[in-house]
Amino acid sequence: MKYRSVFDIIGPVMIGPSSSHTAGAARIGLVARQIFQKEPTWASFHLYGSFAKTYQGHGTDVALVGGVLGFDTFDRRITDSLTIAKDRNLVISFHEEEAHMDHPNTVKIRLGDKLDTMELVGISIGGGKVEIKELNGFSLRLSGNHPAILVVHDDRFGTIARVSTILAEKEINIGHMEVSRKDVGKEALMVIELDQNIGKDIMVEVESLEHINKVTKIHE
């Protein structure tokens, strides 16, 4: 079931005018910001389907930028996000794409700073609910509605078990988990949705394991 809470239906509290095109867009931007973990210096937004056709009218542009700046759906600063981006020296660009995607409300966000870049594909499925479909070339499914950790690792036997063992020892329950890899033995990604937020100590412990390259936390 795609929708699991009554507050997916009655909610979110948000700045208008569209739950899918404004609130959903802000949430995708915000997830991108949380995964990147810092304010980027540039961001480009590639819009598909209904997003491409109607983004200006729905405030999709200001909402995406607002999300990347760290604003939630109800944050009034969303309406001024383009100006705020300029003030904070965040260079942004929008691209209306022609390609047909599986979902009508799809956006690809590329962002980065001097050191890092990131690419994320998100869809807004209705009522403000979103899913992240792709991260740096990995396919995944992440709602952004639950606390989660993203673990980039080398594709080696036992790595997944070692990570889940640490969580088990701390009595942290996994709500949803996905693993994907670029190729056998190459870079791989674990997406682990949790029932609660976890502390920095657990992050450090996971990161210290062999074959683990990076651990990122997303919280509610």
Candidates 171, 175, 166, 168; CA nearest to 194 is 175
Give the span between the Cα atoms of 211 and 19, in whole angstroms.
Answer: 40
- Identify the three-state secondary structure at position 5: coil
Q: Which of 41, 84, 101, 104 binds other proteins (CB under 8 A)?
A: 104
As a residue count, the chain comes to 220
What is the strand order of the sheet 212-218 is part of? 174-181, 187-194, 148-154, 212-218
Contact 68, 122 (CB under 8 A): no
137 binds other proteins, rule: CB under 8 A: no
Q: Which of 33, 40, 50, 68 binds other proteins (CB under 8 A)?
A: 50
Contact 209, 169 (CB under 8 A): no
Site string for other proteins, 105-134 (x = CB under 8 A): x-------------------xxxx------
145 binds other proteins, rule: CB under 8 A: no
* Nearest to other proteins of 55, 138 (CB atom): 55
The number of residues that bind other proteins (CB under 8 A) is 45
16 binds other proteins, rule: CB under 8 A: yes
The total of other beta-carbon atoms located within 10 Å of residue 122's CB is: 28
Q: Which of 34, 41, 44, 79 binds other proteins (CB under 8 A)?
A: 79
Q: Per CB under 8 A, which of residues 185..214 are in contact with other proteins? A: 195
Instruction: List residues binding other proteins (CB under 8 A).
Output: 1-23, 49-50, 52-59, 74, 76, 79, 96, 103-105, 125-128, 195
